[in-house]
Amino acid sequence: PLPPCLPIFLHPLSSSSLSPHLPPPLSSSSLSPSTPSSSSSPSPSFSPSSPSSASFLIVSIGGDHGGSDLCCSPSLHHRFTKKVRIIEPLLILLRNCTYELSYELVNFFAFKKCFVNLDPGPLLSSVSLSLTSFRMTFCGIGCNKYVEANISQKSRTTVKYTMKTLASIAETIIFIFLGISAVDKSKWAWDTGLISCTLIFIFVFRALGVVMQTWVLNWFRLVPLDKIDQVVMSYGGLRGAVAFALVVLLDAERVPAKDYFVATTIIVVFFTVMFQGLTIKPLVNWLKVPRATNRKPTINEEIHERAFDHCLTAVEDIAGLNGYHHWRDKWEQFDKNYLSKLLLRKSVYRKSELWEVYQKINIRDAISVIDQGGNVLTSARLSLPSMASRASFPEVTNVTNYLRENGSGVCLDLQVIDNVPGAKVEEESETHHFLAGNLYKPRRRQTLHDSGDHERQDREIFQRNMKSRMETFKTTRHKRHSHKKDRSQKRGSDVKEQDLNDKPRRNVSWQDKDPVVVPVESEDEKGEHLEPEKEEDVGITFVARKVPDTPKERPKSVPAGLEVCQSPSMAPPSPTCSERNLPWKGGIGTLPVCVSMEATKIIPIDLQQAWNQSISSLESLASPPGPVEPLHPRVSALSRLGGQRPVSYSGSGVSGSGFGSRGAGSIVAQGIARFEFPPGGEEKEEEEGALSDQEQELQPLMSSSVRPPGRRRNPCVYLRSLVTAPPPGSEPLARSRGPTQL
């Protein structure tokens, strides 16, 4: 079974070795089955009954013509495959096959007729074999450029990897056979003399051949090949699978010494592949051969190299030399004016190579920037939110695909990267916020599953507001914990708008772990402040009371609030009911701000707005990739209430309530007043007025993207500010006006 199988494997191997470029020309079954009169050489025109010499002529001429004809047709075919991209790889891989097979079938019989009686049959068949392979090679080389330009990137990849796979499969199988033959004594016969002489000769004659050819070539070369190049070339002659396959294909009847040849070839293959193959690398290192450096292409080099080419062409023209550049330039003109117009698709034809290079460089840079968490702005003003994590495959894929398709628009704003210190941290916190905002929604829904369906919507509004209030009062840590718990609840529905679908889960965990952005708050703190809070309030003893007093209040208030929320531990339904009777509707103190565990999990709408604001801020390019802008003056105010992180917010309008620097506090106070908190005293002023103020402030808050992007804020601060809850009362109200926010 050995010989018949080999040709099949040799076919793709030879094709890939013959043609390093895409698409590789598929050489026909050049080593076709071992019949004496086999290997008909395809030729477009054949005459079955021509004499042998005429057949030979036809073979050779047909070889050349067939090559050029076949060269044009693949390219032409591919020019029209834009709408049917899926068949491009098939066309490439199969076209030449089908041509070859059809020709061969037709010519096989012709040859058989001519050669069956002639002895030179084998000779001619081998000649025609080589002609066939030449034909296919030149066809491939010729049409490579056009076909490659016409087909899509995916088709290119497909063809490339198909051929590589086939080649490596073929090579592997051949080597398996080689190994089997080596072990199987019946297949070979040992002759020491032949083997040793062969080994010596392959070295000697190869070196000789290289030296002679180099000597001839150096007459014509600009940069002559020096000794080291010649040494490497002669030492690098590895004989492998092809040699073995050929020798096994020998016909034992015609070549009685086949077994000796097989043995010799096996030894030669072993020797060259193993010994020479293993030692060539140390040799190259020892000789200090300059290696090819894998350098990043720069647009500078491209431009200047092109300019040099033009320059040299001009100089050659001036000096009257019809040199290399002169002819090359002539060919390029011809190609541009005639061939490309005919063979290339219109959209491809118009592209300039320099522009292509530029795009590639840009895309490469943009991708690496995104991977590192930078920001890329396209000329289409679509800002791509930075991907903080390398693990975000879907996003990166989208981004990179987008960039690949629309490379022309990508304009890497390096300034942005340079000016943002610690961008990664900021990006992480930013995405954290976004996710938190988006995570929120599904959770909310889930926690409401116990309530009825219709009133749920109303309740949801209130509940959301409540929850958002609760949320901001909590410590980060607690939030983290609750998030952790929540995440398990939240399944499926990922309301994440765009492409951060995987982020929510991931980032939540990140956020939980991140000690940098969020200050770690000790349980002790939480605990100790809980008591005083509880004493003072029956209902939700939010920090509001404490907040204006001490700088440390905020974080503590959060735990306090949290604890308070937890203490009632009501089931979801109750909160909703209580939320219904929100303070501004009436009573004071009756509201059990009950924030159950679920409530704590809700992320305030603030984040939602934060997200939108950040988007707009990113788009504006004015602000480096920072976290959401000081979106809510309320939030900022709250952070100020907390006081630990002095955030200088201009508090647009928030401070209007009269707090001055504590403007936010008033809002908080106001909000808290809604919940009947005994605020630090300022709450009185607000019952209604504050409400309206708050509503006004909250309105834009709710309605996202209305707020002008504020000042850039330290992400840490922002996060903390989230912790301080905006007055829950006001929020629900505003919520009711803008339920769509959620």
Partner 1 sequence: MGSTNSTLSKIPNVEELMQETGFTPAHIVRLYDRFEALDKEKTGHLRPQDFGAINRLAMNPIGDRIIGAFFSPGQETVDFHSFVRILAHFRPADKKRPKDPSMPEPVNSRTSKLKFAFQLYDQDKDGKISRAELLQVLRSMLEMQVTEEQLESIADRTIQEADLDKDDAISFEEFRKSLEKVNIDHKMSIRFLR
Q: Give residues in contact with partner 1 (CB under 8 A).
A: 222-223, 293, 295, 298-301, 303-321, 323-326, 329, 333, 350-352, 354-355, 358, 361-362, 408, 411, 414
Classify burial at 587, counting beta carbons within 10 Å of its beta carbon; exposed 0-12, middle 13-18, buried 19 or more: exposed
Closest contact distance (angstroms) between CB of 299 and partner 1 is 5
- Percentages (nearest 5) of helix, strand, coil residues in the chain: 65, 0, 30
Nearer to partner 1, 90 or 321 (CB): 321
Closest contact distance (angstroms) between CB of 338 and partner 1 is 15
Q: How many CB atoms lie within 10 A of CB 19?
A: 20
Closest contact distance (angstroms) between CB of 358 and partner 1 is 5
Look at the block and give the residue holding tokens 């019952």: 687
Closest contact distance (angstroms) between CB of 151 and partner 1 is 21
Nearer to partner 1, 378 or 694 (CB): 378
- CA distance linking residue 463 with residue 479, whole number of Å: 17
Look at the block and give the residue holding tokens 């203490």: 567
Q: Tally the C-alpha atoms within 13 A of residue 237's C-alpha that lie toward its C-beta.
A: 18
Q: How many CB atoms lie within 10 A of CB 40?
A: 27
Nearer to partner 1, 84 or 223 (CB): 223
Q: Which residues are CB-contacts of 81 (< 8 A; sequence separation ≥ 6)?
A: 87, 88, 91, 150, 151
Closest contact distance (angstroms) between CB of 56 and partner 1 is 39
Nearer to partner 1, 350 or 585 (CB): 350
Closest contact distance (angstroms) between CB of 301 and partner 1 is 6
Look at the block and give the residue holding tokens 């201009």: 650
**Do residues 447 and 598 make contact, with C-beta atoms less than 8 angstroms apart?**
yes
- CA distance linking residue 639 with residue 720, whole number of Å: 7
Residue-by-residue DSSP string for 635-677: HHHHHHHH-SS------TTTGGGTTGGGHHHHHHHHHHHHTT-
Angle at the Cα of 128 from the Cα atoms of 122 and 129, rounded to 5 degrees: 85
Closest contact distance (angstroms) between CB of 145 and partner 1 is 17
Nearer to partner 1, 252 or 299 (CB): 299
Torsion region of 39: left, alpha or beta (phi above 0 gives left; psi -120 to 50 gives alpha): left
Nearer to partner 1, 105 or 311 (CB): 311
Verify cis geometry, omega within 30 degrees of 0, for the bond prior to 120.
Answer: no
Closest contact distance (angstroms) between CB of 230 and partner 1 is 16
Question: Would you state the structure tokens that stand for residue 638, as one six-digit string?
Answer: 């709250």
Nearer to partner 1, 83 or 295 (CB): 295
Closest contact distance (angstroms) between CB of 218 and partner 1 is 12
Pairing state between β 383-384 and 410-411:
unpaired
Look at the block and give the residue holding tokens 């396959």: 245
**Do residues 177 and 110 make contact, with C-beta atoms less than 8 angstroms apart?**
no
Closest CA to 349 of 75, 583, 153: 75
Nearer to partner 1, 360 or 484 (CB): 360
Closest contact distance (angstroms) between CB of 224 and partner 1 is 9
Nearer to partner 1, 347 or 740 (CB): 347
Nearer to partner 1, 222 or 622 (CB): 222
Closest contact distance (angstroms) between CB of 228 and partner 1 is 13
Nearer to partner 1, 302 or 687 (CB): 302
Closest contact distance (angstroms) between CB of 656 and partner 1 is 45
Q: Distance of CA 704 to CAs 668, 700, 735, 739, 741, Å?
A: 20, 6, 12, 12, 7
- CA distance linking residue 266 with residue 261, whole number of Å: 8
Closest contact distance (angstroms) between CB of 510 and partner 1 is 34
Closest contact distance (angstroms) between CB of 216 and partner 1 is 15
- CA distance linking residue 739 with residue 463, whole number of Å: 11
Closest contact distance (angstroms) between CB of 686 and partner 1 is 54
Nearer to partner 1, 352 or 740 (CB): 352
What type of residue sits at position 218?
A: N
Nearer to partner 1, 227 or 491 (CB): 227
> CB under 8 Å, gap of 24 or more: what pairs does 690-696 form?
690/657, 690/666, 690/730, 691/584, 691/730, 691/733, 693/653, 693/656, 693/657, 693/667, 694/634, 694/667, 694/670, 694/727, 694/730, 694/733, 694/734, 695/730, 695/733, 695/734, 695/737, 696/653
Nearer to partner 1, 255 or 314 (CB): 314
Q: Given CA atoms 59, 60, 62, 68 in this order, what sign does their dihedral have? A: positive
Closest contact distance (angstroms) between CB of 366 and partner 1 is 12
Look at the block and give the residue holding tokens 């079938």: 105
Nearer to partner 1, 117 or 293 (CB): 293
Closest contact distance (angstroms) between CB of 187 and partner 1 is 50
For 377, phi then psi, to 5°, come to -115, 125
Look at the block and give the residue holding tokens 């001429």: 61
Closest CA to 724 of 655, 638, 602: 638
Instruction: Give helix 121-150 / helix 2-18 axis angle, nearest 10°.
Output: 50
What type of residue sits at position 142?
A: G
Helix/strand/coil (H, E, C) string of 537-565? CCCCCCHHHCCCCCCCHHHHHHHHHHHHH
Nearer to partner 1, 190 or 327 (CB): 327
Nearer to partner 1, 323 or 656 (CB): 323
**Do residues 474 and 485 make contact, with C-beta atoms less than 8 angstroms apart?**
no
